[in-house]
Structure 1
Amino acid sequence: MRSFLITASFLALAPAAAQAQAAPPPAGDAVYTSNLVTRWGREVTPENAWRLYPRPQMVRERWLNLNGLWDYAIAPKAAGQPAAMDGKILVPFPVESKLSRVARKVTPDDRIWYRRSFTVPAAWQGEHVMLNFGAVDYEATVRVNGSVVGSHKGGFDAFGFDITPYLKPGANELVVEVTDPTSAGTQPRGKQILDPSGIWYTAVSGIWQTVWLEPVPKLHITEVRAIPDIDRGTLDVAVALSGWANDTDAVRLTASAGGKVIASTIIRANRRATLKVPGARLWSPDDPHLYDLKAELVTVRDPYAGEKERDRKAYDSRFTFHEQQVYSRAQVSGAPRDSVDAYFAMRKISIGPGRVQGQPAILLNNKPLFQNGTLDQGWWPDGLYTPPSEAAMKSDIVFLKKAGFNMLRKHIKIEPARYYYDADKLGMLIWQDMPSGGGEDQYLAGTSRYQAVFPSETMAEQQKQLSEMIGELRAFPSIVMWVVNNEGWGQYDSATLTRFVKGLDPSRLVNANSGWLDVAPDASDVLDIHTYEDVPKTPPLQANRAIVLGEYGGVGFPIAGHIWRPGKGNWSYQVARDEKDYLARYRRKMEEVVRQAREAGLSASVYTQTTDVEDEINGLLTYDRAVPKAPPESLSDIAAPLWRVETQD
């Protein structure tokens, strides 16, 4: 989304909106929170705040949710832990949000302190206990009973620590301290800014996803990576454990559909296997079929027992077909030591011949499928980064499906893992952006001709967080494209980063630069332009990559009583007078998208945007999700010709 306003329109609200009751102006370090609250936000309590298991691709049966009211304090960064806390905060909502019950600013010179106690269930006696965080923005240090158990840097990825050595009988004290430079730093942060306005939104700090405990054995499963191959009818599965394994440590994999086992094997721990999936039912937006996958850490009898020169044979067989054979026949002793439930889909995303000769297209399951999407910011008036609930989060996807969209571009934000689970279940394709970083002087302009310059340490940290995003999210089949850069915001060496991403995950498409400076034509799978003109521009023909509109649209329509700052000028690219005018403007843009798909071979388009966000009113929905700017059925009817394009001769 553009950071300059040449094509934008500023508008004053209608008199009815201007007269709406505004929230009191912030005083001291208070954050402006508006009067807008979603219907889900009104139902949030300390007892029901985000209660579902937070990791749907690695489900364990036993766990303890630590969300709820914690003690908190905000103090100078240079000071030690305060003797007295400031009050209570509702975790997992960020400090600046209304739902946190705090709504205070956090500056780069501040440190947030969290504190609560917990008791480990007696049934976990003798097991190792993991303390897990869905996400903390930005740099966290964690203490249990006064001892530092670990630190983490990064605002979007999950992390955890084995806290077993630090536990004691009865109540244990957990303290988390967090610092966050927000827009004063160069770290990945997306659209957060300390002085929000226009397309830049209220800063978010601290714990903003679920915190939980779970018991595991010392050696346990940490990741299950499943990559489908619909052309071979197979699923490649790699299972990573928390440490080194012995010859008798193995993993049993079981794939099933509707409770019926379709494939099973045993592999040595920290290895991979290939499962056959005969007659696969392919995942698509119209048929989002998912298969179940279970991984169990088991003990097997010595697979090499009786072989001549047993030790030499076992050593020479590492990572060979012979090793796969002997472990697949190994006998399991006793019950599984660890077990996780996951799932997978048989689907393929690729570039290939499209409808227009000479212009490659994006293919789903080897066939062209136009991807009609929205730019999806993922912000909420009451929870900011944190949706009020999973039901609230899921409602956005449900609305988009009704409105004729089969894709969304998750715009420089990473969601809680359950969001991608909902997309998998509902059949919504996702383009996942890497959250932008960099300082103001490292943001390219639309006229820039070369990329930003960063210190090596900064680049290394951004690349680390890029790889963590991919590592955490590659299990979700709904994600079909990684977007490395948005409009040059902190863009550097994008060709190298694109090849880096392709190396990490060759099963998906990579979009090097969404909008503006296209400097990776040989690495990127798509040419992506942004066009906020009344009639969208057409990307130029590309011989070796697909063409897409990574952003277009931006029709603003203020709805009285559903405005973030009543009485203040709001921001949009265009302004609609009423619903009829709104639909006419939307239709004009969509008709051009249809023409480009039919005549130019356009593969995808991303309309700005799903919802209003703070001062920005470009949404199909109001910020509180209470009012659609037009009926979703009308939007779907306007988009319907897109699906006929693929079936025309």
Structure 2
Amino acid sequence: MQSLKHTYILLFLTCFLHLSSSLAHIQTDATFENAENTGEIAFSLNGNWQFKTDPNTIGEEQQWFGPNFPANGWENMTVPGNWDVKNEYAHFSGKGWYRKTFEVPAQWQGKTMRLHFEAVYHDAKVWLNGQLLVESHSGFFPFEFDVSKVIKPGTINTVVVCADNTFRRGAIWNWGGIRRPVKLLVNNALRIEQAQVVATPDLAKGTAEVTVKVLLRNDSDQPKSVNSLAVIKNNNSIGKSANPDKKLTASLTIPANSSKEYTVKTTLPKSQTHLWHFDDPHLYKLEVTLNENGKLMHQIQDRFGIRKVEIEGLQLKLNGEPVRLLGYNWVPDDRTTGNTLPAWRYKQDIDLMKKAGANMARLSHLPLPKEVLDYIDEKGMLIYSEIPLWGQDALVDLDNPLPKEWLKTLVTTQFNHPSIIGWCVGNEIGFIHQNPKVMEYVQSAINYVNQELDNSRMAVYVSHSADVQVKDLTAPQAAGATKSKQAASTAPHPDAMDPAQYSTMVLFNKYGNLGKNADKVHQLHPGKPVFYSEYGYNLTSENLNLGVIDAKKMLNDIRGRDYLMGASLWTFNDYRSLWQAHAAWNTAPTGNRSWGIVNVFRQPKRAYEEFRREYAPIRSLSVGGMKEVKPGEKQTSTLTIHPRATLDLPAYTLRNYQLVWEVKDGQDNTVESNFVQLPTIQPGDQPLTQTINWTVPSSNPSHIKFSLLSPVNYHVYDTIIYLQKPAAPVVKKVIAGENGVRIVFEKNVTAPYYTVKYGINGFTRQSDTTINHYIDIKKLDKDQPYQFQVIGINHLGEGTPSQTITATPTTQLLPPVIWQAEAADSSFFIGYGYENYDYLYEIRYGLEQDTTKWKTLKVTTKGVCRIPNLQNGNTYQFQMRRIVQQYVTSGWSEVYEVTPDGNRPPRSPRITSIARKGSEAVIAFKPVEKATGYLVSYEEGGNEKQYTLSGMALDYIRLNGLQPDQTYTFRLSAINSNGKSESSQAVTIQAVAVK
């Protein structure tokens, strides 16, 4: 990432260094709160806290942290949360104070109690009952403190947090507040601090050696003799039990007020060894129990995978096979939830990336929460995890202990995640004239990771200088430039002088001239494979229709190089920022930095489908043999799958993929669906042909969609064949203004693009095509009546026009474009467009049809606002307009509806089709907003069965193990933290004959 672009850097005070490594290994979540079962209670402190800003920095002087301080007038603020998502604090930088009272049971007296904050942005002080406990100066790492001697069981306790978000560097938005969960962890004096797993497969034998290293803690004043049991359970990612458990025991004595480590090993036979892969993310469960005299003291659970990642020459191999992979950089925030990362948001983002071909990435500059990494483990992606050390910085110094403490925290926190294949010691710190000790630092940091923290993964560094930085042959060698002894095969060019030479492979950031710059890196570092950890050209647009990136051109510029094994685009999503650099890289007035292939509301731009196609694991899926379409007629189509070339990007072996097809009518109903299991496809294979039979819908045929479905339920490539020209779009509203009109219409399934034909006497003019839900027509003659028709377009041409609309342009301003109406707890958010000269935005909203009875709200923030103090479950209507100055306003927008959804389960999903063959079925459905998973229910042999799949933006569910001779009735529900939706309408599928 270049220095004028977005950056992430988090600075901790030295006080963070004393925090124990146990902080990284809290294995408690909502399912393990019962102390009788686990020996640990997680007492949640989430919810409403009292809140007040402190713009004049008087809080400490006036002792706002005091337990008896009268917090009169303080408002409620949700934890976890960011204050910047509220209109009144949208741009506040400074100190925000939080306070909460709570009571814990008297019987907890004598227990070990730790107050645990998963993250507070960015600088924080914490008081409990008036006593200062700890300071943290990291917005993304957890911190905690032993409060056993400060807390008062059986009575009221007061916790106060001062969060300061003034820290900002580069293009990151400084989201303020207690951004991740808070809990009180209650344990016995004996507990498990951490458990690390190293699983090493023997690819030749098919077995695996599993080593478990456990750290135990004794907080009592006496040594304790204990027994510990580590159990390895062979579970897959959805929890189905498979092979017998492996049980590993240990007996030891832990000194008083000390920690002690033990290690146990086992070898899994071939029958119990299932390798983790991004297309087969098989997970094992680890359960560690600590007992004293037969009594349970503590139990933790975690998951791990067995996989082998290695560099062989210029190849990256996963489980012995070469892989050439693509991915995205992800900025983990949005405009409605800030950087709190609720489960539905991170699952939606990862699902959309996986659907768009992501299987390897330098995913984020920021340390990610455990639950996010858990989901990445489940869905399958190879990632590098990184400490926040960036650019010119005094911390780039061998003698400064802080970066290595960050590395220790990062590695111990995230050790068991199979998705992580490397630890990154810094980003773009490599120019010696900026950081004179960088060569020494990178070499020592990589050695520290390899020798002391984790020798089972790569240790890497992200460079933006590996293509240009060479020795100054006319001057003394720069500090730290002495080369380490390296094998000749990985030695840099004699003139090379970049810390990338110490990295296991070269992770490289560059914008423009991608092929030439990669060649320069290879010339200077010929023995190492190269991965483009960031690549791109310029900002795109917030407008979905104008959000265009030439994916094919960029990827073709770097394809076909044996040393270049992958790339990660900057970025997947637009994100909030204030950064201004130059014309092509300036952030818009909305504060939305438009590098992404989706906008800040996760609506796909045109670029999304372009990258999805270029990132797909096949080159193309073509359809031949189509006859003239006649309703009700049978068709035989020939499908040809063209595999990737050996040195293509991406290029990897496809196993257990399916080809699914769905025949649709004009109302988006599926009238026929089926699938076929594909054979293994290798890069470089000859084209694969499949012949299918299907029937054209008897009335109103729309299209047939062919999808390549991955083993983890993502359709990673689609080909759509339209069966007729588009149906007529429905116009919702025509708004005259600015010597033109805005036409808002409903899109339908028969057309991917839309245009408007218009004129005074006949339809003599035509707009550009759009994927948006509106089209603006400008530069028309004022006071002249024009006629307009909206027309859909597909590959068969232009469709039936909409009803003709007559409108007369005016000079009144057009209202903002409404991009998003997102429900929230007792509120909703509006995402909208802007003009540079806008002053205010006015929203009117209400429950009744009569707009004169609606409430109004005015805001100044461009791009997004929040409508508060609403009733959950009620459906509100709203309109919006913009104000340039007094008495100069736009017209009102079209009317939108939204229902605040706080504490409510998701809405019910809709099954669109079920294809069945033998013991397998593929369920197609419409994903549900804010779902975090889906539950399939069906009856088999008189018993109710259920299948749960974690995810949000999913479209298909693959089911196995059905009885071919049995008829099934399926129902589908959506799940989130508020519960389960009502079941979908039941769909019955008859028994199938298997040939």
Q: CA deviation at 1:345?
A: 0.5
Q: CA deviation at 1:416?
A: 1.9
Contact 2:316-2:323 at 8 Å conserved across structures: yes
Using a 3 Å threshold, how does the CA distance of structure 1 residues 529 and 161 change in structure 2: closer, same or farther?
A: closer
TM-score, length-scaled by structure 1: 0.72
Q: How does 1:207-286 map to 2 (within 5 A)?
A: 207-231=178-202, 233-243=208-218, 246=223, 248-258=225-235, 259=241, 260-267=243-250, 268=252, 270-279=261-270, 280-286=273-279
Distance 2:99 2:90 in 1: 18
Gaps spanning 5+ residues in structure 2: where? 6-27, 236-240, 253-259, 467-496, 577-586, 588-592, 618-643, 654-681, 685-995
State which of 574, 580, 594 in structure 1 corresponds to 2:559.
594
Q: CA deviation at 1:129?
A: 2.5
Q: Could you tell me which amino acid in structure 1 is paired with residue 217 of structure 2?
A: S
Using a 3 Å threshold, how does the CA distance of structure 1 residues 346 and 618 change in structure 2: closer, same or farther?
A: same
The alignment status of 1:459 with 2:438, answered yes or no, reads no
Contact 1:55-1:417 at 8 Å conserved across structures: no
Contact 1:92-1:209 at 8 Å conserved across structures: yes
Using a 3 Å threshold, how does the CA distance of structure 1 residues 54 and 382 change in structure 2: closer, same or farther?
A: farther
Distance 1:457 1:352 in 2: 30
Query: What is residue 499 of structure 1 aligned with on the other side?
Result: 447
Q: CA deviation at 1:208?
A: 1.5
Q: Could you tell me which amino acid in structure 2 is paired with residue 494 of structure 1?
A: V
Query: What is residue 74 of structure 1 aligned with on the other side?
Result: 53
Query: What is residue 424 of structure 1 aligned with on the other side?
Result: 377
Query: What is residue 174 of structure 1 aligned with on the other side?
Result: 159
Distance 2:38 2:651 in 1: 40
Using a 3 Å threshold, how does the CA distance of structure 1 residues 475 and 528 change in structure 2: closer, same or farther?
A: same
Q: How does 1:81-96 map to 2 (within 5 A)?
A: 81-82=63-64, 83=69, 85=71, 86-96=74-84
Distance 2:38 2:124 in 1: 25
State which of 459, 478, 493 in structure 1 corresponds to 2:419.
478
Query: What is residue 369 of structure 1 aligned with on the other side?
Result: 323
The alignment status of 1:409 with 2:409, answered yes or no, reads no
Distance 1:457 1:547 in 2: 26
Query: What is residue 569 of structure 2 aligned with on the other side?
Result: 607
Query: What is residue 288 of structure 1 aligned with on the other side?
Result: 281
Distance 1:60 1:424 in 2: 27
State which of 508, 515, 530 in structure 1 corresponds to 2:464.
515
Query: What is residue 126 of structure 2 aligned with on the other side?
Result: 142
Q: CA deviation at 1:367?
A: 2.3
Using a 3 Å threshold, how does the CA distance of structure 1 residues 644 and 470 change in structure 2: closer, same or farther?
A: closer
Using a 3 Å threshold, how does the CA distance of structure 1 residues 277 and 84 change in structure 2: closer, same or farther?
A: same
Distance 2:178 2:611 in 1: 39
SS in 2 for 1:529: strand
Distance 1:117 1:632 in 2: 50
1:370-419 superposed Cα distances (whole Å, 9 cap, x missing partner):
121111121211233222x1111111111111111102323321222211
Query: What is residue 338 of structure 1 aligned with on the other side?
Result: 298
SS in 2 for 1:156: coil
State which of 515, 525, 529 in structure 2 corresponds to 1:546.
529
Higher relative contact order (CA 8 A, sep 6+): 1
Q: CA deviation at 1:455?
A: 9.1
Query: What is residue 618 of structure 1 aligned with on the other side?
Result: 595
Q: Could you tell me which amino acid in structure 2 is paired with residue 222 of structure 1?
A: E
Using a 3 Å threshold, how does the CA distance of structure 1 residues 481 and 54 change in structure 2: closer, same or farther?
A: farther
1:259-316 superposed Cα distances (whole Å, 9 cap, x missing partner):
44431111235211112222211101100000011011112xxxxxxxxxxxxxxxxx
Q: Could you tell me which amino acid in structure 1 is paired with residue 364 of structure 2?
A: H
Deviates more, 1:80-89 or 1:61-70: 80-89
Query: What is residue 660 of structure 2 aligned with on the other side?
Result: none
Q: Could you tell me which amino acid in structure 2 is paired with residue 248 of structure 1?
A: S
Q: Could you tell me which amino acid in structure 2 is paired with residue 81 of structure 1?
A: Q
Distance 1:645 1:287 in 2: 13
* CA-atom RMSD in angstroms: 3.2
1:462-509 superposed Cα distances (whole Å, 9 cap, x missing partner):
332232122211221111122222222886322222222223121111
Q: CA deviation at 1:512?
A: 1.8
Q: CA deviation at 1:578?
A: 4.4
Q: Could you tell me which amino acid in structure 1 is paired with residue 77 of structure 2?
A: I
Distance 1:117 1:488 in 2: 44
Larger radius of gyration: 2
Q: CA deviation at 1:159?
A: 2.1
Q: Could you tell me which amino acid in structure 1 is paired with residue 357 of structure 2?
A: G
Query: What is residue 4 of structure 2 aligned with on the other side?
Result: 4
Query: What is residue 196 of structure 1 aligned with on the other side?
Result: none
Q: Could you tell me which amino acid in structure 2 is paired with residue 91 of structure 1?
A: V
Query: What is residue 340 of structure 2 aligned with on the other side?
Result: 386
1:319-360 superposed Cα distances (whole Å, 9 cap, x missing partner):
xxxxxxxxxxxxxx423210011111101222113xxxxxx2
Q: CA deviation at 1:229?
A: 0.9
Query: What is residue 984 of structure 2 aligned with on the other side?
Result: none
Q: Could you tell me which amino acid in structure 2 is paired with residue 590 of structure 1?
A: L
Q: Could you tell me which amino acid in structure 1 is paired with residue 414 of structure 2?
A: L
TM-score, length-scaled by structure 2: 0.48
Using a 3 Å threshold, how does the CA distance of structure 1 residues 414 and 64 change in structure 2: closer, same or farther?
A: same
Deviates more, 1:406-415 or 1:389-398: 406-415
Distance 2:506 2:400 in 1: 24
Q: Could you tell me which amino acid in structure 2 is paired with residue 251 of structure 1?
A: S
Q: CA deviation at 1:637?
A: 5.2
SS in 2 for 1:63: strand
Contact 2:426-2:461 at 8 Å conserved across structures: yes
Contact 1:217-1:338 at 8 Å conserved across structures: yes
Gaps spanning 5+ residues in structure 1: where? 6-50, 184-191, 194-199, 300-332, 354-359, 438-442, 445-451, 563-576
Distance 2:32 2:400 in 1: 29
Q: CA deviation at 1:224?
A: 1.1
Distance 2:614 2:213 in 1: 43
Query: What is residue 25 of structure 1 aligned with on the other side?
Result: none
Deviates more, 1:378-387 or 1:250-259: 378-387
Using a 3 Å threshold, how does the CA distance of structure 1 residues 95 and 644 change in structure 2: closer, same or farther?
A: closer
SS in 2 for 1:3: coil
Using a 3 Å threshold, how does the CA distance of structure 1 residues 587 and 466 change in structure 2: closer, same or farther?
A: same
Contact 1:263-1:276 at 8 Å conserved across structures: no
Using a 3 Å threshold, how does the CA distance of structure 1 residues 609 and 488 change in structure 2: closer, same or farther?
A: same
Distance 2:334 2:318 in 1: 32
Deviates more, 1:402-411 or 1:220-229: 402-411
Distance 2:208 2:652 in 1: 29
Going by fraction, where is strand more abundant, 1 or 2? 2
Going by fraction, where is helix more abundant, 1 or 2? 1
Q: How does 1:8-19 map to 2 (within 5 A)?
A: none
Using a 3 Å threshold, how does the CA distance of structure 1 residues 73 and 631 change in structure 2: closer, same or farther?
A: closer
Q: CA deviation at 1:116?
A: 0.1
Q: Could you tell me which amino acid in structure 2 is paired with residue 275 of structure 1?
A: T
1:408-451 superposed Cα distances (whole Å, 9 cap, x missing partner):
323321222211011001112212222135xxxxx45xxxxxxx
Q: Could you tell me which amino acid in structure 1 is paired with residue 304 of structure 2?
A: F
Distance 2:85 2:216 in 1: 37
The alignment status of 1:487 with 2:469, answered yes or no, reads no
Q: Could you tell me which amino acid in structure 2 is paired with residue 63 of structure 1?
A: A
SS in 2 for 1:510: strand
Distance 1:138 1:458 in 2: 25
Contact 1:378-1:410 at 8 Å conserved across structures: no
Contact 2:574-2:594 at 8 Å conserved across structures: yes
SS in 1 for 2:139: coil
Using a 3 Å threshold, how does the CA distance of structure 1 residues 229 and 454 change in structure 2: closer, same or farther?
A: closer
